[in-house]
Amino acid sequence: MNMNIREISIEEIKKKASSKAKIVRNIDSKTIEIRSLRFIGNIKVDLLLEAIENTINLTGKINTEVELECNRCLRNFNYPLNISVNNNFIKKGIDKTEGCFELKKEDVDNLYFQGECIDLLRNIREEILLNIPNYSLCKEDCLGFCPKCGIDLNCMSCNCKNNKENPFAILNTLIKEKEK
């Protein structure tokens, strides 16, 4: 039976063997719809849902690749996203203190939902957004542009680069001349 990932009901998971449901999908990135983000290929998800009382625990992996722009040289580059998820979806409106289940675990994100279902696609979308770096570099040692002449220092070098790297060179020669 194929579950609709936009409407995963806690009761549906409970009907399954050991109250667990595995979701292995290749999701078309168009269905995720994140503006200003270009996906390369699909979004592969390998997730396990486990229903415990009023909570759905979600664990597994989300793998995809996106195209980002380097903050230093403005070149586009491919950025693989390999996200490990561990979320607890807790059904809202139920007194949590009554349950005998332990929810406090620091590496687990607690999220709340209302009604009977969770929208797993929305969660996948949020996980992807959370894992996009604010400051992205095509490579760690990207040289970017020369602030003086604007040349891309990854492909070319310029003369102003030397001056920038050694701002005390002129000062040293001035001191030496004074000492003479």
- In the shown chain, the binding pattern of residues 58 to 87 toward Zn ion, with x for contact by CB under 5 A and - for none, equals ------------x-xx--------------
Residue 149 as a binder of Zn ion (CB under 5 A): the answer is: yes
Quick one: DSSP state of residue 41? S
Residue 138 as a binder of Zn ion (CB under 5 A): the answer is: yes
Residue 153 as a binder of Zn ion (CB under 5 A): the answer is: no
Closest CA to 89 of 57, 60, 119: 57
- The b/e string for 117-147 (b: 16+ C-beta within 10 A; e otherwise) is bbebbebbbebbeebeeeeebbeeebbbebe
Looking at residue 144, its amino acid is G
Residue 122 as a binder of Zn ion (CB under 5 A): the answer is: no
Number of residues that bind Zn ion (CB under 5 A): 10
β-bridge pairing 76-91 and 109-113 = parallel
Residue 3 as a binder of Zn ion (CB under 5 A): the answer is: no
Compute φ and ψ for 128, nearest 5 degrees.
-65, -45
Which of 85-93, 115-123, 144-152, 170-178 is the region at the interface with Zn ion (rule: CB under 5 A)? 144-152
- Rounded CA-CA distance 149/170 in Å is 20
Task: Please report how many Cα atoms fall inside a 13 Å half-sphere around the Cα of residue 162, on the Cβ side.
Answer: 5
Residue of 148, 157, 171, 172 that binds Zn ion (CB under 5 A) = 148
- In the shown chain, the binding pattern of residues 13 to 52 toward Zn ion, with x for contact by CB under 5 A and - for none, equals ----------------------------------------
CB atoms within 10 A of CB 29: 18
Residue of 23, 48, 81, 146 that binds Zn ion (CB under 5 A) = 146
* Residue ranges that bind Zn ion, judged by CB under 5 A: 70, 72-73, 138, 142, 146, 148-149, 158, 160
